[in-house]
Amino acid sequence: MTEDVLFEIEDDIAVITLNRPQKLNAVTPEMADAIVAAVTECNDSDTIRCVIVTGAGERAPFAPAPISASSMRMKRPGSFATGRTTATPSGRC
């Protein structure tokens, strides 16, 4: 990880924290790579049941970014992808 993306696992819960509050946690390319690595580790784990994504600071969890229909596409039923990573709603969190 980087100092701008913190990744913690406790029991069956993973927490990804965007740690760039001075910039409203706007994601840089390096942060995106770290987020993908954390999500990949979560997807590959048999024990992680919940992933919380949050942002450091008091002003905003993270800076908004536009999401277009072309940037979000279904990979398989019950999952979605944005960019290079896939998230699957588990309903277990």
Interior/surface letters 48-84, b for 16+ CB within 10 angstroms, e for the rest: beebeeebeeeeeebeeeeeeeeeeeeeeeeeeeeee
CATH number for the domain harbouring residue 31: 3.30.300.220
Residue 93 located in a structural domain: no
Q: Which DSSP helix (H) or strand (E) runs through 17?
A: strand 13-18
Q: Total structural domains in the chain?
A: 1
The residue segments making up the domain with residue 61 are 5-87
* Residue 92 counted as domain residue: no
pLDDT tens digits, 36-71: 999 999 999 999 999 999 999 988 777 655 444 444
Instruction: For residue 62, tell me if it sits in a domain.
Output: yes
The answer to whether position 79 is within a domain reads yes
Is residue 39 assigned to a domain? yes
> Between residues 30 and 70, which one has the greater pLDDT?
30
The Cα-based distances of 76 to 1, 17, 71, 89 in angstroms read 28, 27, 15, 12
Measure the CA–CA gap between 61 and 90, rounded to whole angstroms. Answer: 23
